[in-house]
């Protein structure tokens, strides 16, 4: 679930499948062009507002002149139910010392983001244990 505020004053709450690329790249689809960047704490995404036509071949002329900000839920909430609990721990444990699955348990903020679920991800997860509301 994302909570988006657009530069023209519009506000939208929606669900969107997406993925994180190398570093702090944010992708809304599977093409190699990043759609935005993620803050180092993984709580905010900044995406330039482009026209929806021609996403893989965007140019400066496609930029609408604004950005929109997306507030992200707690990234340690792997199953998206609003609380970090045993269900999320089960997802993390099933990806332990492997490349992340879907949803990804490779959640430690940069500079980790190493493409493997490990102690850094577990430490980040543990700091958020039992936070949120169901």
pLDDT at 93: 96
Both tokens of residue 129?
């244990």
Q: What is the pLDDT of residues 110-121, one digit of tens each?
A: 666 678 999 999
Quickly tell me which residue has 């039992």 as its tokens: 130
Q: What is the mean pLDDT of residues 51-72?
A: 62
Which long-range contacts link 23-28 to residues 24+ away (Cβ below 8 Å)? 23/110, 23/113, 24/110
What was the pLDDT predicted at 122?
A: 94
Alpha helices in the chain (DSSP H): 86-94, 119-127
For residue range 77-112, list pLDDT tens digits in order: 888 888 899 999 999 999 999 988 888 888 887 666
pLDDT score, position 85: 93
Output the pLDDT for position 8: 64
pLDDT at residue 41 is higher than 80: no
Which tokens go with 54?
């021609």
What is the spatial distance between Cα 20 and Cα 2, in angstroms, rounded to a whole number? 15
**pLDDT of residue 2 exceeding 70:** no
């Amino acid at each position: 679930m994302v909570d988006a505020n657009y530069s023209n004053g519009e506000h939208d709450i929606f669900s969107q499948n997406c993925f994180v690329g190398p570093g702090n790249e944010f992708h809304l689809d599977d093409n190699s062009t990043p759609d935005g960047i993620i803050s180092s704490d993984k709580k905010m995404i900044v995406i330039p507002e482009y026209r929806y036509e021609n996403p893989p071949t965007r140019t400066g002329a496609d930029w609408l002149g604004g950005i929109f900000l997306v507030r992200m839920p707690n990234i340690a909430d792997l199953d998206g139910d609003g609380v970090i609990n045993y269900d999320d721990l089960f997802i993390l444990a099933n990806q332990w010392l492997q490349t992340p699955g879907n949803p990804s348990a490779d959640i430690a903020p940069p500079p980790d983001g190493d493409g493997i679920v490990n102690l850094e991800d577990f430490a980040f997860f543990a700091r958020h244990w039992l936070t949120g509301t169901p």
